[in-house]
Amino acid sequence: MPHPDLTLAALVGSRICHDLISPVGAIHNGLELIAMSGPIATPELCLISDSVDNASARIKFFRVAFGVASAEQMIGAPEIGTVIRGIYGEGRHKADWQGKGDVPRAEVQAIYLAMLCLETTLPQGGLITVTGQAGGWTLTATGTRIALDPGARAALDGDMPSGLRPAHVQYALLPLCLAEMDRSVRIEQSANNLSLSF
C-alpha cells in the first residue's frame, strides 16, 4: 500500500505537470510556425527557443520524479537519456547517463529524485554519473566541493526532520519511493564524491 504522503505528493506533481505542459507546448508550436518563414536566428528567438526546450525537458523530468509512478510502465534508456541531457546539457551541473535497457517507471522516479538530491550537494557545480540497469543503480556526484546538509542526510535515512526546506523535498520522497520497491538507499561519501546506490 503506497504511503499516503507519497500518494498525495504524486497526485499534486502530476496535476501541476499536466497543466503546464500544454502552454509550453503551445509556445513550442508557435516557434515552429515562425521557423517556417525562415530560420530562428535572432538572439531573442534563440533565447525563447532554448528556454522552451529546457522547460519542456524539466516538465517531463518532474512529471516522473514527482508524479504518479507505475511499476508496470517501462521507459527506455534512450528516452531517459534524452530527458536528462535536456536538463543537464548547459550550466554548472552536468550529467552522464550510462543506464541500460528498459527501466520500470518507479525506478526512473527514484533515479530522478536521487539526481535532484545530488545536484544540491554540488554548490559549485560538478558531474552526476548514473550507472546500472533495472534492479540496481548507482549515482555519483563528483565536484570540487561536496556539501550534504545534515537535515537532508537525516531525511535520506528515513528520519523526517522538522523544517525541511522546499529545495530538499526530494530527500524525503526518495526513501518513500524506494520503500515501495522494498529497497533503501546506500550512501558513500568522500572529499570529492558522493554516491547513492539502490
Q: Domain check: are 83 and 158 in the same one?
A: yes
Indicate the burial class of 154 (C-beta count within 10 angstroms; 0-12, 13-18, 19 or more).
Answer: middle
Among candidate residues 68, 100, 116, the one where a domain is terminated: 68
Residue 127's CATH number: 3.30.565.10
- Residue 36's SS3 state is coil
Please tell me the least confidently modeled range out of 100-104, 115-119, 156-160.
156-160
Find the helix or strand (DSSP H, E) in which 194 lies.
strand 193-197
pLDDT at 153 over 60: yes
| Cβ partners under 8 Å of residue 3, min gap 6 | 176, 179, 180
Q: Domain check: are 48 and 122 in the same one?
A: no
What is the rounded distance in angstroms from the CA atom of residue 90 to the CA atom of residue 85?
Answer: 9
Which pairing describes strands 126-133 and 93-100: parallel, antiparallel, or unpaired? parallel
For residue 193, what pLDDT is reported?
96
pTM of the model: 0.86
For residue 57, what pLDDT is reported?
87
Nearest to 111 by CA among 140, 144, 142: 140
What is the rounded distance in angstroms from the CA atom of residue 54 to the CA atom of residue 152?
Answer: 27
Q: Domain check: are 76 and 63 in the same one?
A: no
